[in-house]
């Protein structure tokens, strides 16, 4: 009976490189803002922001598909404009820990 396995092993997929170490204050602030944006996106989603409107004027299937993108963009813009102050608190905690 003939084997179904290939004669040569298949190559394993390459793993992505490990994350680089965040070293500058700008990098820390960027990462802190990204974390705040993620938090705000979850809070906005829980509050119902971006949910499709019922009845006339609802966006249908397209609105369902893209509502999360809109919510995420709202959260990113909020965080970039200062948000709720979470990114600043995270940034200060990270910089005080580094010194």
pLDDT tens digits, residue range 3-21? 776 677 667 777 777 777 7
Average pLDDT on 20-47 reads 89
In the chain, what are the helix, strand and coil shares in percent, each to the nearest 5?
Answer: 60, 0, 40
Q: Enter the DSSP assignment of 53.
A: P
* Residue 56 pLDDT: 62
Contact 32, 91 (CB under 8 A): yes
> Which residues have a Cβ under 8 Å from the Cβ of 99 and sit 6 or more positions away?
none
Q: What would you report as the CA-atom Rg of the chain, rounded to the nearest whole angstrom?
A: 22
């Amino acid at each position: 009976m003939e084997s179904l396995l290939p004669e040569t092993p298949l190559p394993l997929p390459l793993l992505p490189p490990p994350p680089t170490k965040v070293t500058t204050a700008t990098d820390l602030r960027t990462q802190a803002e990204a974390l705040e944006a993620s938090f705000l996106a979850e809070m906005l989603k829980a509050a119902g922001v971006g949910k499709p409107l019922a009845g006339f004027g609802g966006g249908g299937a397209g609105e369902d598909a893209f509502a999360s993108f809109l919510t995420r963009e709202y959260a990113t813009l909020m965080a970039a404009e200062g948000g709720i102050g979470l990114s600043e608190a995270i940034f200060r905690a990270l910089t005080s820990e580094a010194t």
